[in-house]
Structure 1
Amino acid sequence: MKILIDADGCPVTAEAIDAAREAGIPVLLFCDTAHIMQREGAETITVPKGADAADFVLVNRVEAGDVVVTQDYGLAAMALAKRGVPIDQNGRVYTENNIDLLLFSRHEAKKFRQAGGRTKGPKKRRAEDDRRFTEALRPLLGLRR
């Protein structure tokens, strides 16, 4: 088992690395050349800039049981297809039971925006969001909450 993080803009990288260190699990960070990062306790895999480039490199490294941290529904769906365990930055675990609705809602929102509509951006991140992520991640790694 390992943790793979879609690291471009991921607000919970430090929390995931801390939990992985406690569980003795390796962490891989995936980013493109516009977001190069290095974090102690994680291996960084940098890919050339391009639409979804880091996502495709990440999904090619997923093995059954790996935890994938992403807010991208498409990447989560691909990780599920490889029997990975995707989780978002707020602690929602993507499953076969919720991914279709999430993908559909993304599709509908895109159509709305293309027709000139405006959607709200994400809420400002709070400490309780990080706590909720950590509480959902720890059991996936075999740790107590």
Structure 2
Amino acid sequence: MRIIIDGDACPQRVKEICEQAAREFRIELIIVVDIDHYIVSDFEVIVVEQSRDSVDYKIVQIFREEDILVTQDYGLSSLVLSKASAVIHTAGFFINKNNIDNLLQSRYISERVRKQGGKTKGPSKRTREQDENFKKCLYKVLHEKLGKGQRRTIKKP
């Protein structure tokens, strides 16, 4: 099991929560970004060329059974959902087989409105509640899949 982060547009606090969890549970963390995004991490960062969906293609390529995906991208989510332990939106909710169709439909409608010159609600300012909800989702999956006995906190020197 690994945590894979779609690093393009990933909030800093989400990245920090994932890094903390990866350390505590001693699991691999991979952040995938395009060349236009500069990410510094103690964990693996995969940098791909800047082109439409290049990060998504790389994530699909490296994604394995039981990995956890952290993303805001519903299209990418739908591609890995069948083999993921969990897909967690950076806003702090699970993307799953029960809500993916509605999320994709909502995205499609918003794209249509924008193409016709209309406006849709843009992203709102990140809240502390979103950070807390994200952390709850991530730790819930880690506890369910790895069990409390697997969690080993690494003490800092």
Whether TM exceeds 0.5 here: the answer is yes
Amino acid at match of 2:116: A
Bigger radius of gyration among the two:
2
Q: CA deviation at 1:36?
A: 2.6
Q: Distance in 2 between matches of 1:128 and 1:92?
A: 11
Q: CA deviation at 1:82?
A: 3.4
Gaps of 5+ in 2: 149-157
Q: Distance in 2 between matches of 1:131 and 1:57?
A: 28
Do the aligned residues in 1 keep the contact of 2:85 with 2:141 (CA within 8 Å)? no
Paired residues for 1:12-23 under 5 Å: 12-23=14-25
Query: How many residues are treated as equivalent by the alignment?
Result: 143
Q: Distance in 1 between matches of 2:47 and 2:36?
A: 9
Give the alignment's TM-score, normalised by structure 2.
0.86
Which residue is equivalent to 1:127? 128
Q: CA deviation at 1:98?
A: 0.7
Which residue is equivalent to 1:29? 31
Q: Distance in 1 between matches of 2:126 and 2:38?
A: 22
Q: Distance in 2 between matches of 1:67 and 1:106?
A: 22
Amino acid at match of 1:55: D
SS at match of 1:34: coil
Question: Cα deviation per residue 1:83-142 (whole Å; 9 max; x = unaligned)?
Answer: 452110122111111101110110011001111110111111122211110011101112
Do the aligned residues in 2 keep the contact of 1:79 with 1:85 (CA within 8 Å)? no
Q: Distance in 1 between matches of 2:8 and 2:96?
A: 22
Q: Distance in 1 between matches of 2:113 and 2:122?
A: 14
Q: Distance in 1 between matches of 2:22 and 2:128?
A: 20
Does residue 95 in structure 1 map to residue 96 in structure 2?
yes
Q: Distance in 2 between matches of 1:91 and 1:20?
A: 17
Q: Distance in 1 between matches of 2:84 and 2:130?
A: 26
SS at match of 2:36: helix
Q: CA deviation at 1:8?
A: 1.2
Which residue is equivalent to 2:118? 117
Q: Distance in 2 between matches of 1:74 and 1:82?
A: 15
Gaps of 5+ in 1: none
Over the matched positions of the two proteins, sequence identity in percent amounts to 38
